[in-house]
Amino acid sequence: MDKPKEIRWGIIGCGDVCEVKSAPAMQKIPGSSLVAVMRRNATKAEDYAQRHAVPKWYNDAQQLIDDPDVNAVYIATPPSSHGQYTAMAAAAGKPVYVEKPMARTFAECQQMIADCQKYAVPLHVAYYRRSLPQFLQVKKWVDDGAIGAIRMVQIELFQSIQPAIVSGLDNNWRVDPEIAGGGFFYDLASHQLDYLDYLLGPIKSANGFCTNQAGLYEAEDVVSATFQFETGVLGTGSWCFTVGEPAVKEETRIIGEKGQIIFHYFTSNKVRLELADQEEELDFEMPAHIQQPLIEKIVADLMGEGESPSTGESAARTNWVIDQICK
């Protein structure tokens, strides 16, 4: 397909993620603009458009997709509808940028890829940590051999149940498997596993146990996993979303022959390099709109001026790993 000179975004699902994280960046990147938004609730769609100075709003996805001023579609709905909207946008010949996780299952991801390939439409996914500065620093250390050959990876994510979460469980799609595919593991661990794919290459095998111990919702709340990368590096992960406050922890370690790298996905912007004769800790400032560095690369990719690090193919691999762990 011909490369456009300007990316004119239309958003399907202008909810919370579009308030600060993503959509405002589309209005600030050179060669990019946000021209239309859609939400099934017309009042909320109009309110968003007015507050963010977006020229058009819709309460019907097909109308937004058919808008001739829209030449790229950002799907910011829950995972259960990603496949449907991707197919609609692809059939209209419009590139797709979809929120993470890419879908509920690997099979749904494969169908999304097939739909976009059928119409020669690019497909990108919002795994934005592939473009954030602290994660690029970790990748630089690994690629430069700072800790030598990588031996293994360890992920720990332990969260407590907050009163606000409990009180809102009836309306929390993130713990409804029919909508999200699973629970908080699908929502949060997908970021972690996707970045490790970027850092160390694809995972070739994975196994795990998923269960619900606290009984607060239907989805899993405890997960334990082992996995192996194509390079031979081994990994382990432990996730629990119902621990007591003293047990709260979030840390990932990359362990090598010369030392280790410690970093965090959600609780800190610091990265730490530990060697036998050297320690270095760096603290990074995040962009105001956390998806902006990735969206900049997607815009450049769509205009034929660069390459996006997060595609349908790379994101589908993360869903495959999750499927293996939680099957």
* pLDDT per residue as tens digits for the range 242-275: 999 999 999 999 999 999 999 999 999 999 999 9
**pLDDT of amino acid 161:** 87
Gap between the Cα atoms of 162 and 169, Å rounded: 11
Query: What is the Cα 292 distance to its own chain's centre?
Result: 13
User: What number of other Cβ atoms are within 10 A of residue 271's Cβ?
Assistant: 22
Question: Taking the CA of residue 124 as centre, how many other CA atoms within 13 Å lie in the half-sphere pointing to its CB?
Answer: 25
Question: Taking the CA of residue 302 as centre, how many other CA atoms within 13 Å lie in the half-sphere pointing to its CB?
Answer: 28
Domain 133-285: give its CATH superfamily. Answer: Dihydrodipicolinate Reductase; domain 2 (3.30.360.10)
Instruction: Tell me the DSSP string of 51-90.
Output: HTT-SEEES-HHHHHH-TT--EEEE-S-GGGHHHHHHHHH
**pLDDT of amino acid 178:** 97
Paired sense of beta strands 32-38 and 56-58, if any = parallel
* pLDDT per residue as tens digits for the range 27-82: 999 999 999 999 999 999 999 999 999 999 999 999 999 999 999 999 999 999 99
- Domain spans in the chain, listed from the N-terminal domain onward: 7-129+290-307, 133-285
**pLDDT of amino acid 165:** 64
Q: pLDDT band for position 147 (50/70/90)?
A: very high
- Strand, helix or coil at 267? coil
* pLDDT per residue as tens digits for the range 81-118: 999 999 999 999 999 999 999 999 999 999 999 999 99
**pLDDT of amino acid 156:** 98
Does the structure show a pLDDT above 70 at 164?
Answer: no
* pLDDT per residue as tens digits for the range 179-219: 999 999 999 999 999 999 999 999 999 999 999 999 999 99
**pLDDT of amino acid 30:** 97
Question: Taking the CA of residue 136 as centre, how many other CA atoms within 13 Å lie in the half-sphere pointing to its CB?
Answer: 10
* pLDDT per residue as tens digits for the range 269-323: 999 999 999 999 999 999 999 999 999 999 999 999 999 999 999 999 999 999 9
Cross-strand pairs, 158: 240, 249
Please tell me if the domain spanning 7-129+290-307 has the same topology as the one spanning 133-285.
no
Gap between the terminal Cα atoms of the chain:
38
| Alpha-carbon distances of 200 from 43, 74, 135, 142, 284, rounded to whole Å | 45, 28, 12, 8, 22
pTM, 2 dp: 0.96
**pLDDT of amino acid 266:** 97
Average pLDDT in the chain: 96
Mean pLDDT of 134-155: 98
Q: Which of 3.40.50.2000, 3.40.50.720, 3.10.20.30, 3.90.25.10 would CATH assign to domain 7-129+290-307?
A: 3.40.50.720
**pLDDT of amino acid 218:** 92
